[in-house]
Amino acid sequence: MKYFILFLVSCSTFILEATPYEKRNLLQKQVSKEELFQFIQKPEDWIPYPQYNDRGAWDEFLAGAKESLIQAGESYLDYQWQVVKLSDYLEFEKSGSRDIMQKPFGDNNSAMSALVLAELAEGKGRFMDQILNGTWLACEMTTWVLSAHLRSHQTNKRSIPDPYEYTIDLTAGDLGSFYSWVYYFFKDEMDKVHPLVAQRLRQNLEDRILRPYMERDDFWWQAVDLEPGGKVNNWNPWCNFNVLTTFLLLESDKNKLVDAVYKSMVSVDQFINYNHVDGACEEGPSYWGHAAGKMFDYLDLLSMATEGKVDIFDQPIIRNLGEYIAKSYVGDGWVVNFADATARSKGKPFVIFRYGKAVESTEMKAYAAYLYESQKGDKKWSFGRDFFRAMEAFRNLEEIESINPSLPHYQNAWYAETEFCYMKNNSGFFFAGKGGYNAESHNHNDMGSFSLYYNQTPVLIDVGVGTYTRQTFSSERYSIWTMQSEYHNLPLINGQGQMPGHKYRSKNVVFDDQNQIFQLDLARAYGDEAKVKEWTRQYKLLSNGLQVKEEYSLAEVDQPSELHFMTWGKPTLIKPGQVKLVAGDETLILEYDPVELSFESETIEVTDNRLRSVWRERVYRIVLSLTSNAKQGNLTYLIKTM
């Protein structure tokens, strides 16, 4: 599939032909399997962390984090390990709840992470009994896969764990990676209790990760024999990173090791091929850490294990995939969110910093230092079950503290292939709009939607996504209100919202950076029932606000079309044609022609905990209904300062 993007740069018009998949195969071109055999190193030659018994080295390595890590581990010395019951798994099929299974499972994993880091920090064996308990319990589990993922990975297509079929999802991969490090650091300590402990752990890692990865090509995230139009999302680099870690730490047969590493390179190439050169993460900033961020972890680990011989950090797409995250930050903890991404994010300063070092991006390093400075009061050093990121954070702690923190300086950021557009001005306005199509990974029906921020505060918002349930990733997905275009800043045309699918996409996309204009035709995002021939929307960022123009042409008019806007603060009608918009301490005016449009608003109570953590108790929807039944028309409205 190919499509065309029209855009303006410096008042010159260009046509860009873009494809959603380009067979770059950067890793495979970097090194052959035969060369990889020569480059791959043994763990003791590439691991940059001290051995468990080297107490002086650990004291120096952990520096100021040591006491915090020990205190965190102490809170789990009496932890009661939880059993994940069969009914917890089956609850996903009954009610759609994922949390009933994930809560006890996640609590156990958090305990293990804190205990392992505490023992490495202190080194007196005080935490070893609990580490052994947690390890033994993990080996007792039928599966490390989440209930929500079992049905798409297991042959039985149920959320009941199959003891005869091991599969790899995000969490099984995470635990494979984590317990490989546990084995690496604590095998000798385990042997002091009984060799059976380490032997059992090693066998579990073989059965759960090493063997299925090499024997199977049917995990969708591997992207083997990817079909045209197929998606490759964050699962690919995330799972491959975990598998790579497990093989590098455990596989002593060099031929088997090289086969596995090369297989992972072929798979990760599919992720890089899928992404556009512009570097935008179609899943949104809160998924960046799992998508481009995990790709970076994979590439970083691969470079370490090959003494820098396999290194593609000089490739433009790799740099662009990194710098996207810095430009997507609005301020005060708010980020641009499309699709399933959340509007609030603390960010991942150490991942961003390490990535910035690798691609030599001053912008990323300064942004990472800014995030780190803003989070400096939090001394919990919580990295979940991601042991590698924890170690790399400690290894880069001194350096990140030496960087002057700052946010990226830019007026416009235009991602021509992904069709994301950010525009800022000196008056405090930040506009984010998107084109694209309604089948991106984690998609909402939101083609052509936008968000508007003023003085780092969301005014017109993208609500985001609620707590994941069975319905979220099923045929019922678009029955959820947050997924529908009716609850994005988009028109409802002839009573119809946008449709999901590849063919529902933008047309005639224009970006004019000098005049700060973003324009596109929304018509193709709607089904035949909308009877729309053209609906061109133009956004223009002004010094005092945002001007929006709508030009439409309908085949028929069955009912008045509507313009919908989601707001954080309660909208108030000042008089016909003027609506007060409030967000935090900020107040703006939505100004429209009351002859052409009539105003209504509704309150939407937010009951989902994930959404409440961002927007609190409620959000609001403005509805401006067209008063004319004309088949063609033009509308202009402003969101501006008072």
- pLDDT (0 to 100) of residue 20: 55
- pLDDT (0 to 100) of residue 380: 62
Name residues whose C-beta falls within 8 Å of residue 538's C-beta, 6 or more positions apart in sequence.
517, 518, 519, 548, 549, 551
pLDDT surpasses 60 at 6: no
> Could you tell me the pTM of the whole model?
0.93
The residue ranges of every structural domain in the chain are: 412-641
Q: 2.70.98.70, 2.60.40.10, 1.10.540.10, 3.40.50.150: which CATH number matches 412-641?
A: 2.70.98.70
**pLDDT-derived band of residue 379, with 50, 70 and 90 as boundaries?**
low
pLDDT surpasses 90 at 503: yes
Of 350-359, 381-390, 499-508, 633-642, minimum mean pLDDT range: 381-390
pLDDT surpasses 70 at 2: no
User: Strands, DSSP E only, in 482-596?
Assistant: 491-492, 501-505, 507-512, 517-521, 532-542, 545-554, 562-567, 572-575, 578-583, 586-591
Q: Higher model confidence: residue 445 or residue 341?
A: 445
**pLDDT-derived band of residue 592, with 50, 70 and 90 as boundaries?**
very high
pLDDT surpasses 70 at 94: yes
User: pLDDT for 54-85, tens place per residue?
Assistant: 999 999 999 889 999 999 999 999 999 999 99
Share of the chain above pLDDT 70, in %: 96
* Token duo for residue 491: 């028109």
- Provide mean pLDDT across the span 111-129: 98
State the Cα–Cα distance between residues 237 and 351, nearest whole angstrom.
14
In terms of Cβ atoms closer than 10 Å to its own Cβ (0-12, 13-18, 19+), residue 547 is middle
User: pLDDT for 139-155, tens place per residue?
Assistant: 999 999 999 999 988 99
Average pLDDT over the chain reads 94
Share of the chain above pLDDT 90, in %: 88
pLDDT surpasses 70 at 3: no
SS3 250: helix
- pLDDT (0 to 100) of residue 230: 84
- pLDDT (0 to 100) of residue 377: 65
pLDDT surpasses 70 at 226: yes
Cβ 274 vs Cβ 18: under 8 Å: no
State the Cα–Cα distance between residues 291 and 352, nearest whole angstrom.
12
